[in-house]
Structure 1
Amino acid sequence: MSGHSKWHNIQRRKGKQDAERGQLFTKLSRDIYHAAKDGGGNPDTNFRLKVALERAKANNLPADSISRTIAKATGTLAGVHYEEILYEGFGPEGVAILLDIVTDNRNRTAADIRHIFKKRGGNLGESGSVAWMFQRKGVLSLASLGELEVGDDLLALALEAGAEDIRSGEEGIEIITAPEDFSKVRSNLESHGLVLADAELTYEPTTPVEVSTEGEEMVLDLLETLESHDDVQNVYTNASFEK
């Protein structure tokens, strides 16, 4: 995404801080909860849950926490009801921001997020005010190509598997898919020996907004603050930062 390098590096740093504060565990648990609630508690038949469990285990989320979360989601254990919401807003310099929210109290979360935007030079928008500036995409990041060579072999395999494009990302090669083809492409690639470092459905900007040097600190402060909120799962922006 535009501005990916700087924002991606900030997210990685913030992710480590979240883990130290316990916020990362909360977000991982919510990912598992919603995946299990929507598609059932079996990762063999629920790809979204499989991805959530892989991330949880990679970040050392305790096994008993994982089991309890799945039990709550599937109704075998009484627990809190979470709902998933997409928030839209504008930051300084007119940058667009999308937020994946998972909350057990919609009113509380809305008030919190509205306050964060207002205090940092932005505003929470209405539904549809920002989403049109993004496209929903699947992104598969490769850890290993197996016996394939970078270039024509990989491109041919990816396209044959149903992918839309291949690009070089911060962590290496990324394969881009339509949301409805995400699971199929992943399965096809893995069946040919490719190893994935990460796989996610994300929002990618279609209309990048260049952020001035003067406005960079304000925009990044807003993005970081939003990302650190307990109810925010993911932050997407069309902000493009100078290298």
Structure 2
Amino acid sequence: MSGHSKWANIKRKKGANDAIRGKITTKIGREITIAVRMGGGDPTGNMRLKLALSKAKANNIPKDNINRAIQKGLGATEGSNYEEVLYEGYGPGGTAVMLDILTDNRNRTAADVRHLFSKYGGNLGQDGCVAWMFKKKAVFIVECEAFDDEDALLEIVLEAGAEDMRAEDDVFEIIA
């Protein structure tokens, strides 16, 4: 009679759920730490930190873990030193690929990325080999109800330095 132990089934399910929650907590903690290092510990002036904190609250991460990640980012506590690394290369068929990776060990990550590129028919390139093909852009979606006058919004957008604004259905799409 296999599978008759209710406790064993509960333990197995709880263990699997705890492992998933642990991965999510660790990942969001790293995001908070990097955001604090890049823009400071004040979420009002650091949009990346504000986004990471909203993810943490959505995933029910305890405040102690959030505060610990912020302190680590400010340099108050010792721990792993996470950094963002940009890798460029060519995928199968000559497809240009840019990878923005968060790591605590550059050497291990470079070897892993090089292995993945070669495994799937690509190759890791030098810095700048494909970066010239990409542009970083921001897209803002504003509902039409927020602005009655499209011309006034266009004027504000152009003064702020945006590239383009499109009116679609019931939203304005602003590209900057």
Q: What letter is aligned with 1:155?
A: L
Matched with 1:105 is 105
1:99 deviates by 1.0
Matched with 2:118 is 118
CA distance in 2, matches of 1:109, 1:127: 15
1:175 maps onto 2:174 in alignment: yes
Q: What are the within-5 Å matches in structure 2 for residues 47-58 of structure 1?
A: 47-58=47-58
1:156 maps onto 2:141 in alignment: no
Matched with 1:31 is 31
Matched with 2:91 is 91
CA distance in 2, matches of 1:126, 1:148: 46
Query: CA distance change for structure 1 residues 90 and 61 in 2, over 3 Å: closer, same or farther?
Result: farther
1:58 deviates by 3.7
Query: CA distance change for structure 1 residues 96 and 150 in 2, over 3 Å: closer, same or farther?
Result: farther
Ranked by relative contact order (alpha carbons within 8 Å, sequence separation 6 or more), the top structure is 1
TM-score, normalised by the number of residues in structure 1: 0.55
- Name stretches of at least 5 consecutive residues in structure 2 with no aligned partner: 1-19
Q: Which has the higher helix share?
A: 2
| Structure of larger gyration radius | 2
Q: What letter is aligned with 1:82?
A: Y
1:96 deviates by 0.9
1:128 deviates by 0.8
- Name stretches of at least 5 consecutive residues in structure 1 with no aligned partner: 1-19, 178-243
Query: CA distance change for structure 1 residues 54 and 148 in 2, over 3 Å: closer, same or farther?
Result: same
Q: What letter is aligned with 2:41?
A: G
Matched with 2:13 is none
1:112 deviates by 1.2
Q: What letter is aligned with 2:80?
A: V
Identity of paired residues, percent? 55
Matched with 1:215 is none
Query: CA distance change for structure 1 residues 47 and 147 in 2, over 3 Å: closer, same or farther?
Result: closer
Report how many aligned residue pairs link the two structures: 156
- For 2:146, what is the secondary structure of its paired residue? coil
| 1:103-125 deviation digits (Å, cap 9, x = unpaired) | 11111111111111111111111
1:156 deviates by 3.3
Q: Which has the higher strand share?
A: 1
1:141 deviates by 3.9
- For 1:136, what is the secondary structure of its paired residue? coil
